[in-house]
Structure 1
Amino acid sequence: MPPLAPPPAEIAAPRPSLAESHRSVAVDGGFWRRLAAFSGPGYLVAVGYMDPGNWATDIAGGSAFGYTLLSVILLSNGLAVVLQALAARLGIAAGLDLAQACRAQYPRSVSVALFVLAQGAIVACDLAEVLGTAIGLQLLFGLPLIGGVVLTGLDVFLILALQHRGFRRLEAFVVALMAIIALCFVWELVAARPDMAGILAGLVPQRAVVADPAMLYVAIGIVGATVMPHNLYLHSSIVQTRSFAQTPAGRRDAIALAAIDGTLALTLALFVNAAILILAAAAFHRAGRTDVAEIADAYRLLSPLLGAGAASLVFAVALLASGQNSTVTGTLAGQIVAEGFLDWRLAPWVQRLATRGLAIVPAAVVVAAAGGAGATRLLVLSQVVLSFQLPFAVVPLVQFTGRAGLMRGHQAPRWLGALAWGIAAVLIALNLKLLVDFVT
């Protein structure tokens, strides 16, 4: 990345993204009351860590390799906690989301290139959400995949209706669906009776993850599905929906509260992510069905393999809730990226419908051409695409949060900055290794 420069005066204080919700949630009172008021943004971010793209990669990883890739899920979640804490710190301390900071700090050519990459990441993420919702509708109600894909366009109006009633209502809707997903997987794991010794062994990193190209491909897909670039833009913006004291002490307190909110929310996401892989390992890998990579196949096989008639139904309910939830954050992130990089101020429904359309069109084409098999392959590929684009969001984030002037004295401590640069290096190295494997 080019060296940072002082932002031009005309964009030093840009209009806030999601202006209709900016500083709309009061944060006051004692510690527990302030923490309750600050709880919410982390859960909107955590949605992206349990979206249908995770399902595709976790099912493929669990059925093919058993519990081995649990260590990748655990590592990815740790990386996510650090990076999301930095994103929240940027939004609180600098008063800028990541897109606005890129526009302010980099030359226009670099900013435009980063916008294209960010928009590509959002399209890849939206593909997973659209396809996941469509597959859930097909499994539960028999709706043709292409009909489900088109129907997801109506999600835009659901989001607008919820946000019109206040940002807290939108957060409550997301948390309620997350609770449904978590309860569904608690039931599934009880029915699956996984091997606890295998789970504990899977949490320990193994050399085979890097040495085996097939395993590495799925592992990087898991990283891409877990640490998602659009979530960094999203988190740095939605923490600004909180109306905290605009003083050094107020910002310091808000940074701490945001870190707690994010860590708790991502712990729930870790459970769901791990549960999907554990379920696939216990149900499919243990039965010798190492070829299960399709969500529809997993749905059909769960009940007979587990001997529980409701297993497939519960699985489909959780998938539909996951896809529906993910559309909320995907469309919000699309608006934040467009407003931050380009200062577009379109009507919210126009912006969100355009974001959804960019995902619906390619998803409809793939489903029409290749059916369900193509849809699931596209789900896994979308997560690998996200992983490739991740460094272009992570490097600016780490760079910005280490700058004292931009962060108004709340820059990341040296140890945190060093850890974040290490995370960026690991992500870039994994991506290069995957690229070499593709070429050779």
Structure 2
Amino acid sequence: MLTKPPPPESIWLRARGEPSLADVFRTVKVASGASSWRKFLAFFGPGYLVAVGYMDPGNWATSLTGGAQFGYTLLVVALVSNIMAIVLQSLCARLAIATGRDLAQACRDAYPRALAWPLWLLAELAICATDLAEVIGTAIGLNLLFGIPLEIGVLITALDVFLILWLQTKGFRWVEAFIITLLGVIAVCFAIQIALADPDWGQVIRGFAPTTEIVTNPNMLYIALGIIGATVMPHNLYLHSGIVQTRAYGETLPEKREALKFATIDSTVALMFALLINASILILAAATFHKTGQTDVAELGRAQELLAPLLGLSIAPALFAIALLCCGLNSTVTATMAGQIVMEGFLEIRLPAWLRRLLTRLVAIVPAIAVTMIYGEGQTGKLLILSQVVLSLQLPFAVVPLVMFTGSKEKMGALVAPRWLSIFAATIAAIIILLNLKLLTDLAMG
């Protein structure tokens, strides 16, 4: 006797437990009878929380160093990284909408503990590297603007825990509005600085053309991998698959298809905005530092000091510091949320919201203070770049499961990723793995 095949949800064998981010799950209503424009606006927001991770202080450090050392050459890496991010984030939305699971929950459900727990540890390591960059970046921004010592600034970043809690009591839309407002401030700051720098736009356009030198030059490859790690960040894959479920988009297949369309548009537009910011940082460094022969600029604080004489306007350093502080605040908020998704998804830990977020923040604050005290302010730029390379090395452990899940018909049902998309995503994973192996080989050979 033939039996009806089970729905995709039953393929995830273990108990489903609470949904991702249970306190804000399905809290943003999507009116079924509304116009397409109003539905798009209902999905407007999560993509920008994801985009924050693609322009965090660690990304600043890699882009700043890449522009100072190699001029406009690495703009193509920023572009390719952004394309990778757009593809992978579309898969995250697809996974969440098709199965109701975030990536961490999907890994926990699909794999035995012997494999799921190492994946959890690697995800936590990636979040530690992310938080280290963001906490240090925020502390540098506070130091540049208000003269607050880095150690004290690192402690102040713990307050984002209470900021998130307060915003979420107002509704998840308030979190999104806070993030988008700060993104607007960052964009204005860089628009003014780029106008003052007056880059060679012909070289800017040529910088988006690929060159073999990026692979053959070990120093350039190191920075390029840092840019990839800072752009296609592992924690962002977990984040997007969680926060897209804040939308109450319905349970029927047509509703899910529509939700996937709008969520993909939202993240794609947001990531193109992130590309503009990242390219602006690299262009600013190339047009100021590389042009004047100052190719060793890697510290965010030193970059801020040098901008005034190079751009000829005293407001330029302040704009740089304001943008950095906004970026750091944004990134710490979203990284804390990603930490919550990873902890709950892999381990099903049930803790009060304030305690979950405080623990996630402490994981970053303790090493950040230790690093600052041991190495001092002068080494923060190198540490930021190293943290982004660590992220690149961690990427395959998040990307490979994502590609496998979304390409599985029995897990995804009718929303399984098209064959061409799965092949494209698998190619991205292969490129990341090969570049990581090349980097490790170069390091081993000195």
Quote the offset at 1:243 in angstroms. 0.3
Q: Does 1:24 align with 2:27?
A: yes
> Which residue number corresponds to residue 379 of structure 2?
374
Partners in 1 of 2:96 and 2:284 — Cα distance? 37
Partners in 2 of 1:6 and 1:166 — Cα distance? 31
* Segment drifting more, 51-60 vs 371-380: 371-380
1:322-369 Cα shifts (integer Å, max 9, x gaps): 000001110000000010000111111111111110111111011111
Partners in 1 of 2:321 and 2:28 — Cα distance? 34
Quote the offset at 1:233 in angstroms. 0.4
Write the mapping of 1:305-316 to structure 2, written as runs, cut at 5 A. 305-316=310-321
Aligned counterpart in structure 2 of residue 100 of structure 1, from 92, 100, 105: 105
Q: Does 1:362 align with 2:390?
A: no
Q: Secondary structure at the match of 2:433?
A: helix
Aligned counterpart in structure 2 of residue 183 of structure 1, from 179, 188, 193: 188
How many matched pairs?
436
Give the TM-score, by structure 1 length. 0.98
Q: Secondary structure at the match of 1:406?
A: helix
Quote the offset at 1:370 in angstroms. 1.4
Aligned counterpart in structure 2 of residue 436 of structure 1, from 430, 441, 446: 441
Partners in 2 of 1:373 and 1:257 — Cα distance? 44
Partners in 1 of 2:46 and 2:10 — Cα distance? 29
Q: Secondary structure at the match of 2:203?
A: helix
Q: Retained in 2: the 8 A contact 1:6–1:105?
A: no
Write the mapping of 1:110-259 to structure 2, written as runs, cut at 5 A. 110-259=115-264
Write the mapping of 1:35-54 to structure 2, written as runs, cut at 5 A. 35-54=40-59
Change in Cα spacing, 1:288 to 1:422, as seen in structure 2 (3 Å) is: same
Quote the offset at 1:64 in angstroms. 0.3
Match for 1:272: what amino acid?
A: I
Q: Secondary structure at the match of 2:414?
A: coil
> Which residue number corresponds to residue 331 of structure 1?
336
> Which residue number corresponds to residue 323 of structure 2?
318
Partners in 1 of 2:156 and 2:12 — Cα distance? 43
Instruction: Provide structure 1 residue ranges, at least 5 long, that are not aligned to the other structure.
Output: none
Quote the offset at 1:27 in angstroms. 0.9
Quote the offset at 1:9 in angstroms. 4.4
Change in Cα spacing, 1:9 to 1:208, as seen in structure 2 (3 Å) is: closer
Q: Retained in 2: the 8 A contact 1:76–1:223?
A: yes
Q: Retained in 1: the 8 A contact 2:51–2:274?
A: yes
Q: Retained in 2: the 8 A contact 1:232–1:393?
A: yes
Q: Does 1:33 align with 2:54?
A: no
> Which residue number corresponds to residue 422 of structure 1?
427
Quote the offset at 1:374 in angstroms. 2.2
Partners in 2 of 1:388 and 1:377 — Cα distance? 17
Partners in 2 of 1:104 and 1:201 — Cα distance? 46
Match for 2:330: what amino acid?
A: N
Partners in 2 of 1:37 and 1:155 — Cα distance? 26
Match for 2:348: what amino acid?
A: D
Partners in 2 of 1:368 and 1:231 — Cα distance? 29
1:95-127 Cα shifts (integer Å, max 9, x gaps): 100000000101111000100000000110000
Partners in 1 of 2:97 and 2:255 — Cα distance? 10
Q: Secondary structure at the match of 2:376?
A: helix
Q: Secondary structure at the match of 1:332?
A: helix
Q: Secondary structure at the match of 1:407?
A: helix
Give the TM-score, by structure 2 length. 0.96
Q: Retained in 2: the 8 A contact 1:7–1:104?
A: no
1:300-329 Cα shifts (integer Å, max 9, x gaps): 000101111111110000000000000111
Match for 1:14: what amino acid?
A: G
Instruction: Provide structure 2 residue ranges, at least 5 long, that are not aligned to the other structure.
Output: 1-8
Q: Secondary structure at the match of 1:21?
A: coil
Aligned-residue CA RMSD (Å)? 1.2
Q: Retained in 1: the 8 A contact 2:11–2:411?
A: no
Match for 1:113: what amino acid?
A: P
